[in-house]
Amino acid sequence: MARKSTSDSGGIVFKTGLFAILAGLAFWIFNQFSGKKTGEPDTGPRTELPQVPVSGPSTVSDNLLPHSTTGELVRHSYYTLSYAEEHEQAEWVVYELTRDRLNENWVERATSFRPDPGVRTESATPRDYSGSGYDRGHLCPAADMAFDTLAMSESFFMSNMSPQVKAFNGGIWRELEECTRDWARKFNHLYVVTGPVLTRAGKGQIGFSKVTVPAAYFKVLLAPEQQQAIAFVLPNEMNTRPVMDFAGSIDQAEKLTGLDFFPQLLSGEKEALENKLDLDAWPVNQGRYKKRLDEWNAR
């Protein structure tokens, strides 16, 4: 049998090497666009992300913004957030909730959880939550953004997610979100700030990105026309207590979280509103509370 020439062997080696280089380049390109943090291990099959609307300029006025302790502001079309890279989640999100928006026909709920391209240091990814036992809990609720396809889509950025105990996310947290929509209809519009309490020791970390599991969450509401305000701080756990048991003033929430809420709106004479709390101005649906106890907490 004739021997292969040296040139033939060299050609095979060259082609094999070229194939390896091209394969490596293809793998690198795939990783760059697969929505995972650099160096993150492959934990499961990848699925192609659906096409989503492109973000436009933010409609959230800067005078609504709380103080950012990180300086990492990310502006989306209908909400703005301050990202805490140390905890791989927002320290707060802020947006306006109006009666008119809630009265719009709701768009189909999105399911496109994905990294936030607006986070300079890279946000957490959906895989950080896989198998963790925690829900990807919305800070800005999807239902509050259901008036518009773009608004709904942007609410599924991972920067808007935080690890929540399932019975908390689907229980008292859900009740508070639904109460907030009731109050927005009553007052015509609300300014809403929501976030994790990162000044308390958390419940550990999850995922390759080491996402902090917060011990508690806050929600601060301001009705500017009626000059009413209220704040809530709820532990990240299943709860049977009435939601109003966790109500307090803005000043109380500021002391607990180390944040300054509405510094541009509540200054001068209006600063007194931070210590004001009129529980009668914030009625609660008792039927919904009973439903939480009987149904939501048991899921």
Q: Give tens-digit pLDDT for 139-191.
A: 999 999 999 999 999 999 999 999 999 999 999 999 999 999 999 999 999 99
Q: What average pLDDT does range 226-247 have in this prediction?
A: 98
Bridge-based pairing of strands 134-138 and 228-235 is unpaired
Q: What average pLDDT does range 41-60 have in this prediction?
A: 53
Decide if 52 is inside a domain.
no
Q: Catalytic: 138?
A: yes
Decide if 86 is inside a domain.
yes
Angle, nearest 10°, between helix axes 172-187 and 286-294? Answer: 160
Total length of the chain: 299
Q: Which of 67, 76, 87, 138 is catalytic?
A: 138
Q: What CATH number is attached to the domain comprising 210?
A: 3.40.570.10
Determine the pLDDT at residue 58: 87
Tell me: pLDDT of 49 over 50.
no
Number of domains in the chain: 1
- The residue among 36 and 66 whose pLDDT is bigger is 66
Determine the pLDDT at residue 136: 97
CA dihedral 96, 102, 104, 110 (to 10 degrees): 80
Q: First-to-last CA distance in the chain?
A: 74
Decide if 51 is inside a domain.
no
Long-range contacts for 272-275 (Cβ within 8 Å, ≥24 apart)?
Answer: 273/222, 273/227, 273/229, 274/229, 274/249, 274/250, 275/249, 275/250, 275/251
Tell me: pLDDT of 15 over 90.
no
| C-alpha distances out from residue 266 to 16, 61, 103, Å | 68, 15, 29
Q: Give tens-digit pLDDT for 265-294.
A: 998 888 999 999 999 999 999 999 999 999
Decide if 150 is inside a domain.
yes
- Structural domain harbouring 71: 62-298
Q: Whole-angstrom Cα distance, residue 195 to residue 75? A: 16
Q: Find how far residue 270's CA is from the centre of its chain.
A: 29
Amino acid at 288: R
Could you tell me the two tokens for 97? Answer: 């909730």
Least confident of 30-34, 149-153, 180-184, 253-257: 30-34
Determine the pLDDT at residue 29: 38
Decide if 146 is inside a domain.
yes
Q: Are 95 and 81 in contact (CB under 8 A)?
A: no
